[in-house]
Amino acid sequence: MTTTTPPGTTTAEGAAMLRALELAARGVRGANPLVGAVLLAPDGAVLGEGYHRGAGTPHAEPAALADARAHGHDPRGTTLVVTLEPCNHTGRTGPCSEAVLAAGGGRVAYAADDVNGPAAGGAQPLEAAGVQCVRGLHAERSRRLNERWTRCLAEQRPFVTLKSAQSLDGRVAASDGSSRWITGDDARADGHRIRALADAVLVGTGTVLADDPRLTARPRSGEDTGPGPGSGPLRVVMGHTPVPADAAIRGEGFLRFITRDVTEVLGELHGRGVRHLLVEGGPRIASAFLRAGVVDEVFSYVAPVLLGDGAPAFPDLGVGTLADAPRWELDDAGGPAVVRLGPDVRLHLRPSSTAP
């Protein structure tokens, strides 16, 4: 991978950017870019660090400034090293450019320009106020970290996470249709954690009729985060079969799309402000999103159980020969790609960067 070191960049800033990239990878993929930041004293000593932990939480820059203050450091005259240009936008949080100015920072070294129109351009007010800005430090690494998020911006669609729980032989239900529970408590709790990070969670009408899910995000205590925007993910159903009037999924925050067209659903959800969609099934819905080529990551929970002639996790993919099979690779950018959860294993996968 090409490494870019702009003229005038110090060794300490280069090391801090590598650390900031490591921190950024810990963040939540999907609705926002992955961003990390490290605050340096004039002598290059690290004063604070932070990363963006998800929508509505402090951005990386204010998090690093807060970390420095918590350790008794004055941020005036410091250098902020950050993996993405500080934003210049007021959303759930204020502009990072203003936070840097308010802290009295003297220099900002960032990796890549922000390509998100409403948030871009934070370097301009910083430079206008006399803050020195250095661009391009490890820019390619930052772009690779956020390439799928960037593509979703360009395509005007949500980032799509696919979640599946299956047996060792790739089945999501036994031959009699029973499927509760293939995985154990730890895996299901982890699945609820992932669900809580999404803007919306989607299933097909077949899953609604078979399982009558609530699709709320519940911690181990079993208490719902609550339905509707702002308190939990939107609950989305797609398909032609009617949803029963007494279905558990109904209520505030429930959306239904009478279509099997994946592109149509993604466009409608994007128009409603959904930037991160979690697809939970059933199998035919999962396969439809995979066939459309819009799945950006997969969390696959595999249980050590064999079901034989049960329902396959991903039917009808249209793969006629091995050469045509879509390839996936382990994704450890945001943490371990393989995690043991009680008796089960979770795989975190991304589309392969190489051809089959």
The set of catalytic residues is 61
Enter the tokens of residue 291: 């066939």
CA angle 349, 203, 160 (to 5 degrees): 35
Residue 279 pairs in a beta bridge with: 162, 202
The Cβ-side half-sphere exposure at 131, using a 13 Å CA radius, reads 29
Q: Look up residue 84 and give its two tokens.
A: 């993405």
Which H or E element spans position 133? strand 132-135
**Backbone phi, psi, residue 173, to 5°:** -160, 155
Which residues, in sequence order, are CB contacts of 8 under 8 Å at separation 6+? Answer: 134
Q: Beta strand pairing status for 344-351 and 328-330? A: antiparallel
What is d(CA 342, CA 302) in angstroms, rounded to the nearest whole number?
Answer: 11
Residue 57 near residue 49, CB atoms below 8 Å: no
Hey, what are 329's tokens?
Answer: 């690779």
CB 124 within 8 A of CB 118: no
- Report the half-sphere exposure of 84 (CA within 13 A, side-chain side): 30
Question: Residue 226 is which amino acid?
Answer: G
In whole angstroms, what is the distance from residue 202 CA to residue 215 CA?
Answer: 8
Q: Could you tell me which of 272, 311, 317, 261 has the C-alpha nearest to residue 290?
A: 317
Closest to 65 (Cα-Cα) out of 93, 91, 92, 89: 93
